């Protein structure tokens, strides 16, 4: 099938084109003679402001999809459009610019910079998102206060990652992803290390980001209750999308 090189941009006011379009994405890892097909024919799209959860067993390709959608690794087949631009046709510099300006990442293993305090980790992410921006947006201290408050890390901002618990590091990583209000938030197991109270706070925050701030949120989770906060739930197995269902848009607790 011929693939168009561009889609109309969703940043045009009133344009409701999807902000992410994935068409037949494939990713095969190669090490020596060994080939691991981690993604196969993954096709879906996400609209501005949509909250999508991605669930599936360990090894089903969720993190690989996260890396491909974020432009951190190349798909080996298929096409990916972000805001109408085909990722593989952008130069490395253009792709990096797009990633910095448009995408906030919450990594499964947090990836905080170990020599910097929590505050400086958040600040540097904001600075990186602003490279090349005209005019530069100053760090929104009110937003940082708000995020730190909701995430319960206000008293921890002077600490380095190795002085923080896993759950605290995770919450710093979430503040870092949201501080520059990116159009797309990619979150890999953002509640994996959190207790119910903090997990609910994070899910509500991501819900707010999508509903009120029109950010597109893609959240990988193992937790079926957490997935229900999304508008849509994508089920993956063996690198493929097996099913897409509607989420309830709110947190469900069975108790
Ligand atoms: N760098 C790599 N080289 C080779 N194979 C890899 C690499 N990264 C992942 N894989 C393989 O690709 C498949 C998908 O891995 P991926 O990390 O995307 O799974 P996942 O769904 O995120 O799992 P989990 O829930 O455990 O985080 C697995 O079989 C994994 O072993
Ligand atoms: Mg993973």
The domains of the chain are located at 47-74+97-246
Ligand 1 shell residues, CB under 6 Å: 29, 31, 36, 38, 56, 58-64, 108
Question: Counting atoms of ligand 1 from 1, which one is nearest the CA of 222?
Answer: 25
The β-bridge partners of 186 are 105, 218
Phi, psi at 82, each rounded to 5°: -120, 125
Ramachandran bin of 254, using left for φ above 0, alpha for ψ from -120 to 50, beta for the remaining angles: alpha
Look at ligand 1, atom 6, and give the residue with the nearest C-alpha.
Answer: 29
Atom of ligand 1 nearest to the CA of 64: 18
Query: pTM for this structure?
Result: 0.91
47-74+97-246 to CATH, choices 3.30.365.10, 2.40.37.10, 3.40.50.300, 3.10.180.10: 3.40.50.300
Contacts of 199 (CB under 8 A, 6+ apart): 191, 223, 226
pLDDT tens per residue across all 255 residues of the chain: 333 444 333 344 555 799 999 999 999 999 889 999 999 999 999 999 999 999 999 999 999 999 999 999 999 999 999 999 998 889 989 999 999 999 999 998 889 999 999 999 999 999 999 998 888 889 999 999 999 999 999 999 999 999 999 999 999 999 999 999 999 999 999 999 999 999 999 999 999 999 999 999 999 999 999 999 999 999 999 999 999 999 999 988 766
Tokens representing 36 are 């691991």
Specify the residue with its C-alpha closest to ligand 1, atom 1: 29
Residue identifier of the C-alpha nearest atom 29 of ligand 1? 59
């Amino acid at each position: 099938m011929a693939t168009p090189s561009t889609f109309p941009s969703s940043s045009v006011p009133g344009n409701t084109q999807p902000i992410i379009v994935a068409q037949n994405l494939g990713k095969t890892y190669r090490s020596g003679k060994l080939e691991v097909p981690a993604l196969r024919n993954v096709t879906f799209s996400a609209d501005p402001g949509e909250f999508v959860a991605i669930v599936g067993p360990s090894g089903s390709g969720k993190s690989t999809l996260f890396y491909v959608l974020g432009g951190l690794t190349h798909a080996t087949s298929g096409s990916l459009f972000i805001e109408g631009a085909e990722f593989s046709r952008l130069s490395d510099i253009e792709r990096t610019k797009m990633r910095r300006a448009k995408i906030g990442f919450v990594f499964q293993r947090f990836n905080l910079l170990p020599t910097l305090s929590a505050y400086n980790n958040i600040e540097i992410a904001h600075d990186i998102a602003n490279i090349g921006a005209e005019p530069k947006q100053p760090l929104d201290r009110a937003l940082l206060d708000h995020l730190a408050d909701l995430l319960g890390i206000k008293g921890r901002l002077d600490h380095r990652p190795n002085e923080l618990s896993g759950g605290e590091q995770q919450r710093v990583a979430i503040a870092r992803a949201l501080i520059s209000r990116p159009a797309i938030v990619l979150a890999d197991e953002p509640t994996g290390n959190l207790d119910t109270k903090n997990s609910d706070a994070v899910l509500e925050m991501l819900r707010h980001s999508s509903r009120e701030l029109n950010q597109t949120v893609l959240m990988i989770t193992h937790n079926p209750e957490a997935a229900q906060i999304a508008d849509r739930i994508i089920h993956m197995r063996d690198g493929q999308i097996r099913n897409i269902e509607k989420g309830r848009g709110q947190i469900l607790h069975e108790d």
